[in-house]
Amino acid sequence: MFSEEFTHYYGSHKHRNDVVTQPIVSTKKNILKFRIDDLLLKQIQNKCKETEKSFSELNRILWLAYFQTEKNILWKKEVEEWK
């Protein structure tokens, strides 16, 4: 299927493109993007190879562990007050 797309050019400069959907793009999940230095990137890549997990899966696991640790620290403080 072809569709005519008009860009900022008019007349003879218009062009025709194939219309294609991108089935790989996930629209239901949030994406986390951040910048890291080369050393940290290499360390993460090595850990990915070591654990045989993808970068995104390892990132998700690390964030879950971080928030669980925070929750445990808060719980420990609350329990100490009971004594």
Q: What are phi and psi of 23, to 5 degrees?
A: -70, -15
Q: What is the domain extent for residue 55?
A: 30-83
Residue 59 covered by a domain? yes
H/E run at residue 3: strand 2-5
Split into its structural domains, the chain has a count of: 1
Strands (E), 7-50: 15-18
**For 34-79, what is each residue's pLDDT tens digit?**
888 999 999 999 999 999 999 989 988 999 999 999 999 999 988 8
Residue 36 covered by a domain? yes
Indicate the angle between helix axes 55-82 and 38-51, nearest 10 degrees.
Answer: 90
Single pTM value for the model:
0.55
CA-to-CA separations, 49 to 2, 21, 42, 46, 58, in angstroms, rounded:
44, 33, 11, 5, 11
